[in-house]
């Protein structure tokens, strides 16, 4: 096993090389549409492309990224309040060098924190700036207060929907809400569980059209993930489908999506101070206070 000091040195080295860390909030209107599976497998796709990725499990009460990976986190966000605990003690190891932070119930509790606790927490989270290429926030569904704070703090939101009409209308409600409060947010759409390319495209077109017509908003589609029985197989085995079934249609969908995401990276390039992870933390702090 590698020596802890060596690991810390590597981490500090990565930070010293520092580049702005992109922050993406993954959300949906309706629950159960596949956010957590998307987040995890998309993260692994980015890792495959050489990125350092940290996922933050902010889905309160239903935190289950750890279950999808078959890893049980030893620490969560709230441990940051203990003396001598740093961000590196709560970053858990997932497969292939992917790292994640378990939000636990910490996310609801931070609203009640005094300034000292809040500063301690946010100062530690800031250490991820320049360390990770991308931080993905997996939120709960819909318009709960906690999800909203994450969504409204992020400059990049990925919105997951399925082709079901209820999922589409709930997704539109989220788009409308983001647009009314933060019109400059980049919202990109993922259609998950599409039974064909045609259905995926049809779903994306529907949302794109209404967003254009009623909000005058240009919605971008990042891609489609097919409905694939290997996803639920992998969930039962507690292994990400991207790794256990790399040739499945779902894994191929993710791989294509990752390519599109990386090819368009320059479109949404966070500024060092106001965007990405750093901007996110600053905005989130304002929304809490
Ligand atoms: N592409 C897919 N093909 C087939 N089944 C899928 C696909 N994506 C997700 N599922 C199924 O949907 C279930 C729910 O997925 P997941 O937990 O990722 O949703 P979620 O949006 O994170 O839910 P919640 O809103 O509760 O956090 C999975 O356990 C799986 O069975
Ligand atoms: Mg989830």
pLDDT value of position 237: 96
- Do residues 105 and 61 make contact, with C-beta atoms less than 8 angstroms apart? yes
Which secondary structure element, helix H or strand E, spans residue 60, and what is its range? none
Which of 25, 28, 29, 32 has the most ligand 1 atoms within 8 A of CB, as the residue to mutate? Answer: 32
Ordered by start, the domain boundaries in the chain are 19-159+229-288
What tens digit of pLDDT does each residue of 171-218 get?
Answer: 999 999 999 999 999 999 999 999 999 999 999 999 999 999 999 999
Residue 116 β-bridge partners: none
Average pLDDT over residues 236-261: 97
What tens digit of pLDDT does each residue of 131-169 get?
Answer: 999 999 998 877 777 788 889 999 999 999 999 999 999
Instruction: Report the distance separating Cα 223 and Cα 261, nearest Å.
Output: 9
- Supply the angle between the helices 165-181 and 197-215 in degrees, to the nearest 10: 40
Two tokens, residue 229: 């029985």
Question: Does the pLDDT of residue 108 top 90, yes or no?
Answer: no
Distance (Å) from CA 57 to ligand 2 centroid: 9
Which of 28, 37, 42 has the most ligand 1 atoms within 8 A of CB, as the residue to mutate? Answer: 37
Mean pLDDT of the chain: 90
168 Cβ neighbours under 8 A, 6+ residues apart: 161, 203, 206, 207
- Residue 269: strand, helix, or coil: coil
- The secondary structure of the chain in percent helix, strand, coil, rounded to multiples of 5, reads 55, 15, 30
CATH number among 3.40.50.150, 3.40.710.10, 3.40.720.10, 3.40.50.300, domain 19-159+229-288: 3.40.50.300
């Amino acid at each position: 096993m590698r020596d802890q000091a060596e690991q810390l040195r590597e981490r500090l080295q990565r930070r010293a090389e520092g580049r702005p860390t992109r922050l993406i909030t993954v959300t949906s209107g309706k629950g159960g549409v596949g956010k957590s599976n998307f987040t995890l497998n998309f993260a692994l796709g980015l890792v495959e492309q050489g990125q350092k990725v940290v996922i933050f499990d902010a889905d309160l009460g239903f935190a289950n990224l750890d279950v999808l990976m078959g890893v049980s986190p030893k620490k969560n966000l709230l441990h940051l309040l203990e003396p001598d605990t740093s961000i590196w003690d709560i970053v858990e190891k997932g497969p292939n060098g992917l790292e994640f932070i378990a939000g636990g119930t910490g996310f609801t509790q931070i609203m009640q924190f005094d300034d000292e606790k809040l500063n301690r927490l946010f100062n530690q989270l800031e250490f991820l700036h320049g360390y990770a290429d991308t931080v993905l926030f997996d939120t709960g569904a819909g318009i709960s207060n906690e999800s909203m704070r994450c969504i409204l703090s992020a400059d990049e939101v990925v919105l997951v929907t399925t082709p079901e009409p209820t999922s589409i209308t709930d997704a539109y409600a989220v788009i409308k809400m983001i647009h009314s409060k933060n019109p400059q947010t980049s919202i990109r759409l993922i259609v998950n569980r599409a039974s064909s390319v045609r259905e995926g495209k049809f779903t994306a077109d529907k949302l794109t059209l209404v967003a254009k017509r009623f909000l005058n908003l240009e919605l971008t589609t990042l891609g489609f993930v097919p409905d694939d029985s290997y996803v639920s197989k992998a969930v039962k085995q507690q292994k990400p489908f991207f790794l256990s079934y790399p040739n499945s249609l779902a894994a191929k969908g993710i791989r294509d999506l990752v390519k599109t995401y990386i090819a368009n990276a320059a479109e949404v390039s966070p500024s060092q101070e106001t965007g990405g992870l750093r901007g996110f933390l600053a905005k989130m702090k304002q929304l809490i206070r």
